Structure 1
Amino acid sequence: MQIPKTSKAAVLTEYAKPLEIIDVPIPEVTGKAVLVKVHLAGLCGTDIHQADGTLGLKFPLPNIQGHETIAEIVKLGPDRKTDVAGEELHVGDRIMWAHDFCGECYFCAVKRQPFMCSNNKGYGFSTPDKLMGGFSEYEFVLPTTQVVKVPENVTDEEAVGVGCAFRTVVNAFEKLQKQTPIGLGDSVVIQGAGPIGLYSALTAKAMGAGQVIVVGAPAGRLELAKQWGASAVINIDEVKDSAARQKMVMDLTEGRGAELVVECSGYPPAFNEGFGLMIKGGTYLIIGQTMPAKIEFSPYVLLGKNATVIGSGSADIIHFYKALKFLKHNRTKYPMDLIVSKHYKLEDINEALASMKKGTDIKAVIDMR
């Protein structure tokens, strides 16, 4: 493959303004660096909030967005031989990768939780010259970034959700299992039917939940939730009253509530509602909150419920690996490719962002194959 000198990329230059398509020079590939040709770049809620300027974290502008990418290796640095699992890498292989973690800070070296790295270099949040964003024809993978090969039997559409939502869910449920594991037959309520919620429903069912109740909208996402293992759904477009939703959950759980409630909506007021859906002594797993909005909450609710609350964000390369392994062995059991609801061209990036913001798409992807 002839590698060009520049790559077309969609660049966020100003918050709440359309992204601009520009040509970005392709960096030299040395050491353990990798240059990839992007196949699919998924859009997620973080991209929407980042583009609007409502994300809790702010990054230098301009930047190339897109942090969930599946791509094909077009050039390997001479020192990059294998992926994180020891699999040999070659030009033509498809890979995915985590953010770049330093390996030396307290959270990397002592806590062994690199997704909390103090010196994190993020893909999808960097200035254009670094070419470290998926909304681009080509992307540059740093020499220090760990990568994982995508199994040959897994399609691009099946894998792209691993790039953010699924790996985040895998990390969150690992934390859950270490503290308050899902018991065989437990009831689980998922708040939110976006990709995080859908993968949470899938994971809860795979871990032995007796019933998984998904509370969210629109109807198309709830239909996919049922195909991925949800035993009941509550459409918030139809059941608009919080008390009515709580009664429906109580009716499904012998009047006690769910052993586990998972917040995946990203909607701050959902936090209070979640405690009303939980059994006494239950667990609240929070994955979806990305905005620093404030709500009123009484700590007495925590005491009264004897509740355990777990917060979890992001993930490490091991969670990519585990998510891809799950896909490899379960892709015929669940229609994993249906997470992708529409393909867009790079020049249609602003249309894709608008569609995701409206909730029209489950997972919009920029297709550059």
Structure 2
Amino acid sequence: MTELHLWLRHEIRSTERRTPIVPADARRLVESGMTVTVEESVQRIFPVEEYERAGCRIAPAGSWESAPEDAVVLGLKELPDGPELLIHRHVFFGHAYKRQPGAAALLRRFTAGGGALYDVEYLVDDDGRRLAAFGFWAGYLGAALAVLQHRGRLAVPLVPTAKEELDALLREGEEFTALVIGALGRSGRGACEAFRAAGAEPTRWDLAETRALDRPALLAHDVMVNAVLAASPVPPFLRDADLDDPARRLRTLCDVTCDVGSPLNVLPVYDRTTDWTAPARRLRERRPLDLIAIDNLPSLLPRESSTDFSAALLPQLLQFGTGAAWVRGLGRFHQACREAGVGEGEARHV
């Protein structure tokens, strides 16, 4: 799409070191005829000079607000609180389509400004499978942190690392039992790999096992990772009463999906996520139970996770606006606006 102007924004979250497009793939976009502008960012794992050598234009951090109206703003995590009117098309993980806290306010900013959100979580193929995701690395890191917490070896605050260093840490420590729910998905496969690196062959549950949940069996594991992001209501995997079950062996829980606040949350036993400064939160003191629920886990391995994600997103960006996945994505945005009761009177992107 030769007329597309893609604008890679700086991430406002200080712990976000990933990028949706790495310099090598940015070069391919430029060579395809696109204009690619990259904002300066002190934390992005790839220096801005690498993008400049790839043929990209360079702009100050946060300057997307004054970008040409036809530019497509590309990012990963949340936008700043301003401007109130969002006039551009944005591609990022909006977390606004399942009535999450703040969802209606974000959608209202788009509709008021005439912009549109293409949520990467809903960029899917004809069968509903996501086309670009950080899931594997989210699962891997979620399980790795859970292991280190369980063994009393989780150093805080968290800092980005290399996979080789993390694997070396996982190989040291006592034995434990592990459960992965959603084991057949990307995140689940990543979690299983981390547990194997730590010397544990995890129990793997997926749809068949959660359809008739064996809760005593769940509670009999030492460590659990949830990798299920529900798209429709399902009975919760854990309830408050389960945490007080005298037979509970479970001591460390990691929720990779971090769907807190959503009515579809399968782990309604906590009300806020954790972060790099305080990655684990104690849910119960008697028979201790610790929770890890960090919503940007792959940023702890920013180079590996960015490279994989960029490779998956690149072919989609080369078809931006015309590919069926983008048409579906725009339709999902309008559906979410209707469901949230947010007007679309000035929307330009239909």
TM superposition score normalised by structure 1:
0.40
More strand by share: 1
